[in-house]
Structure 1
Amino acid sequence: MSSIYLPGFLILLVLWLGSKIFSYTRRGPQSTKLNGPASESRLFGLSRYIIESPDISAVYEEWAARYGPVYEIPSAFGRKKVVLTDPKALVHFYNSERSVYVKTESDRLFIGRIFGRGVLWAEGEMHKRQRKALTPAFSNAAIRRLTAIFFESGYKLKSFWDATLEASPDGAAIIEVQEWMNRIALDSIGIAGFSHDFRYIEGQQSPVTAAFEALQISEMTFFTNLVFMMSFKFPFLLSLPTERMRLFWELRRSLNIIAERLLANTRREKEGNVADELTDKSIIGLLLKAEVSDELYMTQEEVVAQNVLLLAGYETTSTSLTWALIELAKHPEVQDKLRSELTRFGGVDPTWDQLVSQSELPFLDATVHEVLRLHPPVDETLREAAQDDVIPLGTPIVTPSGETITSVAIAKGCAILAPIRCINRSEAVWGPDAKMFKPERWFTEITVQAKELQGHRHLLTFHDGPRICLGKSFALAEFKAALSVLVRNFVFEFPDGPETKIETHVTIVRRPKVAGQNGAKVPMKVRRVE
């Protein structure tokens, strides 16, 4: 072992031994012993294997086929994670969030230190109150008013691409599309969520855009992953000033400045009795109305902490738009069919009601949901049992002792993992064509095992239960509006053809990249629709 790593290794060894002694002195009710893969390391379990796996969702699916739809995997410091792929178990798990299954201490510490104590940090009654206060900002009426912003961002991008293509001799150009999807997403969520125009599409830089760009370039090194992995047992490790943590701290500082400026402007509007139709209709602008209600009152700290929604909206939308363009470039017949459906509107944009309708734009709806099924921006849900529980099973499993059981006992403190990407792509759940990009699957009734899932359209992409994504309708409207502008006006191809290899680059979420590119880059050949 290299001497440079020896002190760190000895510290980890001492921490591990201490944790083992501590755990043995606090043994209480035990979780059901389950089958699962063997550990690679007494110290790290399978954590390093999972971190370094190029497609862990496929590994989770393979383990489910081998050990049953509910199994356990060894984690760091002798801990176990119970993995759920059984639909009935998943429904119980998600419906029990807030009351039984909560974020781990390290997750909450990370979210709290980077973004503050907002809705993603909160648990229990605090989460219920914050979510209720936020709900009006994500109502259908609110999103209907914001849809024009989504289209406007698409057309701003179109004007820049048109200029690039006009300057090209053959009317085509190689454009790194993920960068531009980032710009659409940040400008849209900035204006709609915070009344702040980053003007990122125009190329304007800011501390926020600089932090996002740096996070996308930086790789999740093993040391960075090790800190996060170890923080599950030792949360204080999240205070280490690693390069990645410094980027997050700068991001929080910049976002707080924007949020506090908006708070000041909105309060001036209220104090000046500005007519309601002229007041700020952004997410945080509407959130301030919670101050009039004692039941829903949110402190300034809580309101500012909702800046995490900007990060969540930016990362998920930009990643999903990029995956959509990748799938359309790989399946030109799907791209043509989608374009044909959209062109029936001529030069007029669909209304919000038409965008959200499954019958008005069925192929757009199907394409968007197929992208979200195959490529959920968030790979998994990790929670910890706040109390003992019993999870029912739809499919009986056999324990290591040979007993067949129809429920699993979960002890307080047990870690539970719902591998979202694995479940969305699982052949056991979605049928033998689960790995295929097939928008047509959404035109018929779901008859496979996925029908038992209660998430949006039987997907776990938006989570489920009391913590189902509050911005789901916002995200779908933004996704559909931006994609409709892009597909109506441009044709997308890979320079090396549809078989171009796509890998993933782990930043805040798992982003796509063309194999061989440095960072999360997806260069495409773009030309105008003739």
Structure 2
Amino acid sequence: MRRIGLRLIAEKKAAIVAETAATEKGRGVERKDITERDLLTLLIRANMATDIPESQRLTDDEVLAQVPTFIVAGHETTSTATTWALFALAQRPHVQRKLRAELLGVPTDGPTMDALNALPYLDAVVRETFRHHAPVPMSLREAVQDDVIPVGTPYTDKHGRVRETVEVRRGDLVCLPILALNRRCDIWGDDAHEFRPERWEDVPEAAASVPGVWGNLLTFLGGPRACIGYRFSVVECVPAAVFLSLPRQVCSELLGRTKALLFALVRAFEFELAVPAEDVKKQSRIVTRPVVTGPDGRAKASLPLIIRPYRA
């Protein structure tokens, strides 16, 4: 990946220099010249711009480091979330029918972002997918200094002492149990372990205190190190190459492909599980994928579905 990435960077730089020289001789690259819509071109053009301070430029290694981040985070989480959405819909024909009826009410095959966002049941299905089937079930943070974290409810530690804080030492790893919090009954109600999109019609009051960056959930974490592409992952109807061209502040306006994918798939097809639901297990390796044990006894990442064209 490094070898290919560095070659691509060199090729992009040469193309940008040649393009600029051909259009306006003697003038360097400026930010307004950024017209290409892929990640590498945008980052390289920005780094080559003459009207930004040196302190804001990235090295080639720093540019290269962004590529796998966007590819892995943008592709794996979106494809996994869409897979789990189809898994949930295949088990609940009434939810699938209700969603399809809403989607078929849109008079175009290529809706805009605003049109997708205006579909309440699609929004509820996507939110419930990211709640109930969070693609990344947990995350870790390393403390950079000693700290004391207050807790909302006092707890008893292993020594029998009632505590109102958690003491963290520098270097400690703190686990953020995303999926466990997304399914807490004291936040989401007694049916927190069920997939029910209708819950988003009246979000529980307790969920308002969840400090996530989106949807009363920790699926995309929160704070300054929240998922860089969370909007892209949920709603924006754009090609991957367009998303990969956008800087962080623009990425915050994209909630991505999941809605667009479901819009296209559910309008055109009916989905049914090809194996019993209990045969589909979960396997977490950064992202959580569905796995099915084959005749050879080996578990493989897959979701067997029966897919039929929808006939009105």
**1:265 pairs with one of 11, 15, 21:** 15
- Structure 1 residue 285 displacement after superposition: 2.6
- Structure 1 residue 260 displacement after superposition: 4.5
Identical residues among aligned pairs (%): 39
Check conservation: 2:82, 2:258, Cα contact below 8 A: yes
**2:36 pairs with one of 266, 280, 295:** 280
- 1:112-137 deviation per Cα after TM superposition (whole angstroms, max 9, x unaligned): xxxxxxxxxxxxxxxxxxxxxxxxxx
Check conservation: 2:292, 2:299, Cα contact below 8 A: no
- Structure 1 residue 382 displacement after superposition: 1.1
- Structure 1 residue 475 displacement after superposition: 1.4
- Is residue 527 from structure 1 mapped to residue 305 from structure 2 by the alignment? no
Match of 2:292 in 1: 514
1:369-408 matches, within 5 Å, as 369-408=127-166
- The higher-RCO structure (CA 8 Å, 6+ apart) is 1
Q: Which SS does the other structure have where 1:436 is aligned? A: coil
Match of 1:325 in 2: 86
Match of 2:105 in 1: 344
- Structure 1 residue 383 displacement after superposition: 1.7
Match of 2:27 in 1: none
Amino acid at match of 2:211: Q
Check conservation: 2:109, 2:264, Cα contact below 8 A: no
- Structure 1 residue 289 displacement after superposition: 4.2
- Structure 1 residue 440 displacement after superposition: 0.8
* Residues 283 and 496 of structure 1, relative CA distance in 2, 3 Å threshold: same
Please give the alpha-carbon distance, in whole angstroms, between the structure 2 residues aligned to 1:524 and 1:420: 28
Once the two structures are overlaid, the 10-residue window that deviates more, 257-266 or 460-469, is 257-266
1:334-483 matches, within 5 Å, as 334-355=95-116, 357=117, 360-448=118-206, 450-455=207-212, 456-476=214-234, 477=236, 478-483=257-262
- Structure 1 residue 423 displacement after superposition: 1.2
- Structure 1 residue 514 displacement after superposition: 3.2
- 1:223-273 deviation per Cα after TM superposition (whole angstroms, max 9, x unaligned): xxxxxxxxxxxxxxxxxxxxxxxxxxxx44445544554444344434444
- 1:205-237 deviation per Cα after TM superposition (whole angstroms, max 9, x unaligned): xxxxxxxxxxxxxxxxxxxxxxxxxxxxxxxxx
Amino acid at match of 2:78: T
Once the two structures are overlaid, the 10-residue window that deviates more, 367-376 or 424-433, is 424-433
* Residues 445 and 506 of structure 1, relative CA distance in 2, 3 Å threshold: closer
- What's the RMSD between the two structures over aligned residues? 2.4
Check conservation: 1:387, 1:411, Cα contact below 8 A: yes
Amino acid at match of 1:491: E
Please give the alpha-carbon distance, in whole angstroms, between the structure 2 residues aligned to 1:256 and 1:425: 43
1:73-472 matches, within 5 Å, as 251-273=1-23, 279-291=35-47, 292=49, 293-294=52-53, 295-308=55-68, 309-355=70-116, 357=117, 360-448=118-206, 450-455=207-212, 456-472=214-230
**1:486 pairs with one of 251, 265, 270:** 265
* Residues 278 and 302 of structure 1, relative CA distance in 2, 3 Å threshold: closer
Query: Normalized per residue, which structure has more strand?
Result: 2
Q: Which SS does the other structure have where 1:457 is aligned? A: coil
Q: Which SS does the other structure have where 1:458 is aligned? A: coil
Please give the alpha-carbon distance, in whole angstroms, between the structure 1 residues aligned to 2:2 and 2:289: 21
Amino acid at match of 1:490: F
- 1:153-203 deviation per Cα after TM superposition (whole angstroms, max 9, x unaligned): xxxxxxxxxxxxxxxxxxxxxxxxxxxxxxxxxxxxxxxxxxxxxxxxxxx
* Residues 296 and 326 of structure 1, relative CA distance in 2, 3 Å threshold: same
Match of 1:505 in 2: 283
Runs of 4+ in 1 over 6 A off after TM superposition: 274-278
- Structure 1 residue 379 displacement after superposition: 1.9
Check conservation: 2:275, 2:304, Cα contact below 8 A: no
* Residues 508 and 408 of structure 1, relative CA distance in 2, 3 Å threshold: closer
- Structure 1 residue 426 displacement after superposition: 2.0
Amino acid at match of 1:299: T
Please give the alpha-carbon distance, in whole angstroms, between the structure 2 residues aligned to 1:335 and 1:375: 17
What TM-score, normalized to structure 2?
A: 0.80
Q: Which SS does the other structure have where 2:215 is aligned? A: helix
Amino acid at match of 2:44: L
Aligned length: 275
Query: Normalized per residue, which structure has more helix?
Result: 1
Q: Which SS does the other structure have where 1:391 is aligned? A: strand
- Structure 1 residue 398 displacement after superposition: 1.8
* Residues 402 and 382 of structure 1, relative CA distance in 2, 3 Å threshold: same
- Structure 1 residue 507 displacement after superposition: 4.3
Q: Which SS does the other structure have where 2:305 is aligned? A: strand
- 1:462-489 deviation per Cα after TM superposition (whole angstroms, max 9, x unaligned): 1111101111112112111111011111
Q: Which SS does the other structure have where 2:125 is aligned? A: helix
- 1:290-314 deviation per Cα after TM superposition (whole angstroms, max 9, x unaligned): 3231142112221122112112211
Check conservation: 1:329, 1:493, Cα contact below 8 A: yes
Check conservation: 2:187, 2:204, Cα contact below 8 A: no
Please give the alpha-carbon distance, in whole angstroms, between the structure 1 residues aligned to 2:83 and 2:10: 31
- Structure 1 residue 282 displacement after superposition: 2.0
Q: Which SS does the other structure have where 2:227 is aligned? A: coil
Please give the alpha-carbon distance, in whole angstroms, between the structure 1 residues aligned to 2:13 and 2:65: 12
Please give the alpha-carbon distance, in whole angstroms, between the structure 2 residues aligned to 1:432 and 1:259: 52
Amino acid at match of 2:40: I
* Residues 278 and 470 of structure 1, relative CA distance in 2, 3 Å threshold: closer
